[in-house]
Amino acid sequence: MSLPTMASPTLSPDSSSQEALSAPTCSPTSDSENLSPDELELLAKLEEQNRLLEADSKSMRSMNGSRRNSGSSLVSSSSASSNLSHLEEDTWILWGRIANEWEEWRRRKEKLLKELIRKGIPHHFRAIVWQLLCSATDMPVKNQYSELLKMSSPCEKLIRRDIARTYPEHEFFKGQDSLGQEVLFNVMKAYSLVDREVGYCQGSAFIVGLLLMQMPEEEAFCVFVRLMQEYRLRELFKPSMAELGLCIYQFEYMLQEQLPDLNTHFRSQSFHTSMYASSWFLTLFLTTFPLPVATRVFDIFMYEGLEIVFRVGLALLQVNQMELMQLDMEGMSQYFQRVIPHQFDSCPDKLILKAYQVKYNPKKMKRLEKEYAAMKSKEMEEQIEIKRLRTENRLLKQRIETLEKGQVTRAQEAEENYVIKRELAVVRQQCSSAAEDLQKAQCTIRQLQEQQDNPRLTEDFVAHLETELEQSRLRETETLGALREMQDKVLDMEKRNSSLPDENNVAQLQEELKALKVRESEAVATARELKLQLQELSDTWQAHLSRGGRWKESPRKLVLGELQDELMSVRLREAQALAEGRELRQRVVELETQDHIHRNLLNRVEAERAALQEKLQYLAAQNKGLQTQLSESRRKQAEAECKSKEEVMAVRLREADSMAAVAEMRQRIAELEIQREEGRIQGQLNHSDSSQYIRELKDQIEELKAEVSAGGA
């Protein structure tokens, strides 16, 4: 089945007939053997008149540029008008024959019919030809239309809100209570009841509005139903809009294949295909081109389907490739909005000719459709899997939270049980002490009862009790003071404990302490040895002194004594020197110990520095991650701004289209007045045989047409 697209606005009788004449000059020679001599003669005449019309348009342009050629231009204009009148008659004859012999033309002269449709369907034949093209002449749903209007639709508010935005400048739809808005509401409401899955979609009103410009509302409803069912429009307007995604995917492939440089430029500027092509597929260029150009595209769409949308869209990009390559995203948006819609206002045939120069491969499009379906199916499976995993994750989190709450509850219960056990032990101890105190009190009571008979003993006992009470109070005061001191010590110990190093440092300090103890033990042993030596020397010296009195008697002994004294002095000095050496060694050991401590301290500082370095690296990595998140947020913000700009441009585009639609509706009213006048005159012609009267009426018709064309200009 042919691909679907959106319709375009109608043409005036003059412009439609000119379209039929000024179409591309390619003749369907492949079907010439199937034509009768009259038909061949008619086609040749159409070609000749087409050339005359082109020559006349050139002469009209030369008349506007130069006053010297004004006379010849007027002559050529009058001759072209007479030729145009004859050509209109031939065109009416041809399309009247096509409408009456539709089945034969559809079966045997399909290629010729296609060529004629591409050249443009005359305005007065569009209603019947469109119905014949989509087989909407005898539809059962037509009989249900009046009943559907009596029912209420859930989409009525949406329809009422949007119909005022559909061709707001067109006279037929202008005004809140206008006839055009009322019939447009009826058709959209009836379809929302027939197809409740689609209901109402914004954009479809432009297609219905175009149909209502050509035919009554019942026939327009039948044609719209057929378009939705057979031309893929229903898939385009579903809430998911899956068919629009497929069309965008296929169009992007064609753009990448045939215009790779432009596609690269679009991607570099983040100018997505959906930003400019979505309205092409959803409205079939009705919101892009003026009504005369868009109607030509819709003529071909009714016969060939959505293929013409792909062709026209790619032709527009080919024509404007060089200009678009020089613009940024904002400039391209403005170019699509202001320049492209009016490039082919005076020559729609040039647009159709360029569209059919675009390469279009139906087999490749079918393959792309299968690829897109497979891709979407895979994405759907992935989304289902992600949803399942998220559900499982949520359930696991709930279970973990429940378990954590249970663990916290059990820990609290265990702590409460411990506190209760401690309180119970304290209570039991208090109970036992109270029982002992009770026994003592009972014994005291018995003693007091026994001593009541002796007052002196009672006084002594009372004094004794007072003394014990004072002593007990003093002990209590001392106990409280000791308790406060112990509490202060506990707090001090806790503070010291908090300032102590960790376990690893404690182990190192223990090793250093052991080494210090070993060195201290060595130093103590050395000191003991020195003390023993000094003690020995001291004893020897004392013994020597005790013998000194006897030595004085003999000179020899005296000399010997002096030598012994000197020897003892030397030994004492030697012992002192050894003691000093030992002290120096002890000092060296202490210095080595301090050096070892300092080295350990340096090692700990180095370990702390390495830990700080690792922490710095971690913070740097975390900072880098935050920078990445910031850039991602900025990118998302830029995308959101881009989307908002797209929406603003779309609103501006709709406003411009609405203004154009108003002008078209005014032209349509003038056409209808001409048709009414022609019908009245035709009725008079049927009752008159005067040739002179007929010529006068024809002159009046020509004057009216000239006035309408002058008013449109």
CATH-assigned architecture of domain 240-360 = Orthogonal Bundle (1.10)
Q: Which residue, among 253, 258, 259, 251, has the nearest Cα to 277 in the 3D structure?
A: 251
Angle at the Cα of 372 from the Cα atoms of 366 and 373, rounded to 5 degrees:
90
pLDDT at 53: 46
Q: Does this model's pTM top 0.75?
A: no
Indicate the residue type of 457. Answer: L
* pLDDT digit string, tens, across residues 196-240: 888 888 788 899 989 999 899 999 999 999 999 888 888 888 888
Indicate the residue type of 342. Answer: H
Report the 10 Å Cβ neighbour count for 499.
7
* pLDDT digit string, tens, across residues 231-269: 888 888 888 888 899 999 999 999 999 999 999 999 999
* pLDDT digit string, tens, across residues 364-374: 999 998 999 88
pLDDT at 314: 94
- The set of residues, in sequence order, having a beta carbon less than 8 Å from that of 619 and lying 6+ positions away, is none
* pLDDT digit string, tens, across residues 293-324: 999 999 999 998 999 999 999 999 999 999 99
Mean pLDDT of the chain: 75
pLDDT at 674: 77
Residue 665 has pLDDT above 50, yes or no: yes
Taking the C-alpha atoms of residue 322 and residue 115, their distance in angstroms, rounded to an integer, is 31
Paired tokens of 271:
């100018």
Domain boundaries, the chain: 120-239, 240-360
Please tell me which residue, 549 or 196, carries the higher pLDDT value: 196
pLDDT at 251: 93
- Inter-residue contact 194 to 225 (CB < 8 Å): yes
> 11-15, 142-146, 452-456: which has the highest mean pLDDT?
142-146
- 694 membership: H or E segment, kind and range: helix 691-712
Indicate the residue type of 504. Answer: N
Angle at the Cα of 14 from the Cα atoms of 68 and 674, rounded to 5 degrees:
115
- Inter-residue contact 664 to 712 (CB < 8 Å): no
Please tell me which residue, 360 or 543, carries the higher pLDDT value: 360
Angle at the Cα of 258 from the Cα atoms of 256 and 261, rounded to 5 degrees:
60
Taking the C-alpha atoms of residue 64 and residue 569, their distance in angstroms, rounded to an integer, is 145
Q: Which residue, among 13, 606, 15, has the nearest Cα to 292 in the 3D structure?
A: 15
Min mean pLDDT across 91-95, 249-253, 360-364, 686-690 is at 686-690
Same fold flag, 120-239 and 240-360: no
Taking the C-alpha atoms of residue 220 and residue 206, their distance in angstroms, rounded to an integer, is 12
pLDDT at 45: 57
* pLDDT digit string, tens, across residues 589-616: 778 777 777 888 888 888 888 888 888 8
* pLDDT digit string, tens, across residues 395-438: 778 778 777 777 777 777 777 777 777 777 787 787 777 778 77
pLDDT at 78: 35
Across 385-392, average pLDDT: 81
Which residue's entry shows tokens 């290629």? Answer: 111
Residue 471 has pLDDT above 60, yes or no: yes
pLDDT at 27: 37
Q: Does domain 120-239 have CATH number 1.10.8.270?
A: yes
